[in-house]
A = this chain, B = another copy of it.
């Protein structure tokens, strides 16, 4: 019988497809092994536990997402950068609901997801360069930015905006515009 040729990277990559296809709840050794054509116990050569698998998926998603955001930000500044930043997150949540949900998995303090999280904070700081936010206030503005983008994508994905008119895509530009206004008048 030929071998499957697994590795930690291959296992995590398959897990990314799994959560997109079956949802975050299906993330576990057993369904993942089925998808890889392998027995569940075989995964433990490459992943320490189900929790370790989740941490790997979370870190991979945060990295992939940071790459997308960085691409979207390239060559833009000011309000255009803000819109690109916000859209990058929301578009990713739409294209990969399972992965986006995985980005919010709880992880330990020395998980590889932590440096990936710092990348996201640095990208938010880059957006702020287009606004006159005082240095000492930037942390607060970064948190405003992150909270709003994450909150909107998260509530929209949960269907919280689904039962009222108009659809969430109508509100999104208005919400981002309000965020732009808040950042522009931050100094006052």
Binding site for B on A (CB under 8 A): 104, 106, 109, 114, 117, 121, 137, 139-141, 143-144, 146-152, 154-155, 158-161, 163-166, 168, 170-171, 174-175, 178-179, 181-183, 185-186, 188
Which one of B158, B161, B181 lies within 8 Å of A182 (CB-CB)? B181
- In the complex, what's the smallest C-beta–C-beta distance from A186 to chain B, in angstroms? 7
User: What residues of chain B lie closer than 8 Å to A181, measured between beta carbons?
Assistant: 181-182, 185, 188
- In the complex, what's the smallest C-beta–C-beta distance from A55 to chain B, in angstroms? 14
A-B contact pairs, 7 of them (CB 8 A): A104-B154, A117-B160, A144-B171, A146-B160, A178-B186, A181-B188, A185-B185
User: What residues of chain B lie closer than 8 Å to A150, measured between beta carbons?
Assistant: 151, 154-155
User: What residues of chain B lie closer than 8 Å to A171, measured between beta carbons?
Assistant: 139-140, 143-144
- In the complex, what's the smallest C-beta–C-beta distance from A109 to chain B, in angstroms? 8
Which one of B141, B143, B159 lies within 8 Å of A161 (CB-CB)? B143
Identify whether the interface residues of A are mostly helix, strand, loop, or mixed.
helix
- Give Cα A151 to B186, complex, Å: 20
User: What residues of chain B lie closer than 8 Å to A149, measured between beta carbons?
Assistant: 151
Which chain B residue shows the least CB distance to A149?
A: B151
Assess the A143–B139 pair: CB atoms within 8 A. no
- Give Cα A165 to B143, complex, Å: 12
- Give Cα A148 to B104, complex, Å: 16
Which one of B106, B109, B158, B174 lies within 8 Å of A137 (CB-CB)? B174
- Give Cα A143 to B171, complex, Å: 8
User: What residues of chain B lie closer than 8 Å to A146, measured between beta carbons?
Assistant: 151, 155, 160
Assess the B143–A147 pair: CB atoms within 8 A. no
Assess the B166–A139 pair: CB atoms within 8 A. yes
- In the complex, what's the smallest C-beta–C-beta distance from A185 to chain B, in angstroms? 5
